Amino acid sequence: MNINLIKKNYKNIEIKNVISSKKIEKKVQKKLKKLKKTVSVQGFRQGKTPNQIIEKNFRNDVLHSVLKKFIDKHLQDIIKKKKIKKYSNVQYLIKRYKKGRDFNYTLKFKIISNKLIKKLKLITLKIPKIKIKKSDILKTILNLQKNITNWSIKKNKIKENDKVKIKYKIISKDKKIVLKENNFSILINKSLLFKKMYKNILNKKIQDKFKIKKKFSKYHPEKKISGKTMFINIKIENVKEKKVEKIDFKKIKNFGIKEKNLMELEKNVYKILKKESQKISREYLKKQFIKKWIKINIEKIPKKIIKKEKKNLYKNYLF
């Protein structure tokens, strides 16, 4: 094994290495011989499969395993030899191995300094506790049923997730109609509508009218209204809802789910919600860490850059 240290500085290490073809083939053949005794191939008794068939069927997997062990051992040897306590971002730059030719590869990794370790020890994270209740499972199943339920006309007040058809006119300060639409459908969802629209449209009914004052972003694609303050006159033409009061498993079953009964569906929904909760926890921890890491390192960022970034954020995202 020919080890060549290419680069070394305070943080980064890069090492090139060559393993002889003879050494690799010796290991591969030894593993194939051992495998032959235990593996079963159709048409042959266990342990009696010809070497050529064993080689053809299993060589690539065995070769991959052998090369991986060589590289992993090499990395551990370097870490012990150089007395490296902490490291990260290990990269393997590997050239394709061909039988009869020596195997070349490069290892790259970063050394974590003691200063960095001390800083990391200052960071404490709160692990969120997310409990999945029976009501959460049933609500998810109910929402699934809603997705496959047809829209029906609603005469009561508008609520979250209703589908509303409106007429609107966008009027300038000098009372000229700039834009109008007679058949515009929207789903009532807080994340899809601007706040004034969302607050004003909730609890309204068919034929109700209301007005909103709105300053449009200068980046709005419609040039007639971009960067201007306008009045929006809205009339509610139609309201639809997906009415589902209780879980109907037969209806859900017809949609094509694999589960045989409601209990089985509840178990699988629980598993899905569990995975989602784990994902949310990871994201929450990640955000916590980034916030605290920025606080620790904030002194290193020049004040001029922070002010410039604040201006850019305000300019581009705050309307």
Greatest alpha-carbon span in the chain: 94
Range scoring the smallest mean pLDDT among 122-126, 177-181, 228-232: 122-126
> What is the per-residue pLDDT across 108-117, written as a single tens digit (0 to 9) for each?
888 887 777 7
> How many whole angstroms separate alpha carbon 240 and alpha carbon 164?
6
pTM value is: 0.51
Half-sphere exposure of 230 (CA within 13 A, CB side): 24
If one looks up domain 149-243 in CATH, what number appears? 3.10.50.40
Supply the pLDDT for residue 244. Answer: 86
> What is the per-residue pLDDT across 163-177, written as a single tens digit (0 to 9) for each?
999 999 999 999 999
Q: CATH class for domain 3-112?
A: alpha beta
**Nearest of 169, 178, 156, 248 to residue 210 by alpha carbon:** 169
Above 80 in pLDDT, residue 193? no
Please say whether the dihedral angle defined by the alpha carbons of residues 93, 95, 96 and 99, taken in this order, is positive or negative. Answer: negative
Supply the pLDDT for residue 3. Answer: 44
Please report, as a single letter, which amino acid is at residue 16: K
Q: How far is CA 176 from CA 150, 221, 223, 224, 232, in A?
A: 39, 20, 15, 12, 12
Supply the pLDDT for residue 310. Answer: 65
Mutual orientation of helices 51-81 and 21-38 as an angle, nearest 10°? 130
> How many whole angstroms separate alpha carbon 180 and alpha carbon 36?
78
User: What average pLDDT does range 221-244 have in this prediction?
Assistant: 92
Please, what is the average pLDDT of the chain?
Answer: 85
Question: Start-end ranges of CATH 3.10.50.40 in the chain?
Answer: 149-243
Above 90 in pLDDT, residue 180? yes
SS3 of residue 148 by DSSP: coil
Question: Start-end ranges of CATH 3.30.70.1050 in the chain?
Answer: 3-112
Question: For 97, phi and psi rounded to 5 degrees?
Answer: -85, 135
> What is the per-residue pLDDT across 277-305, written as a single tens digit (0 to 9) for each?
999 999 999 999 888 888 777 656 667 77
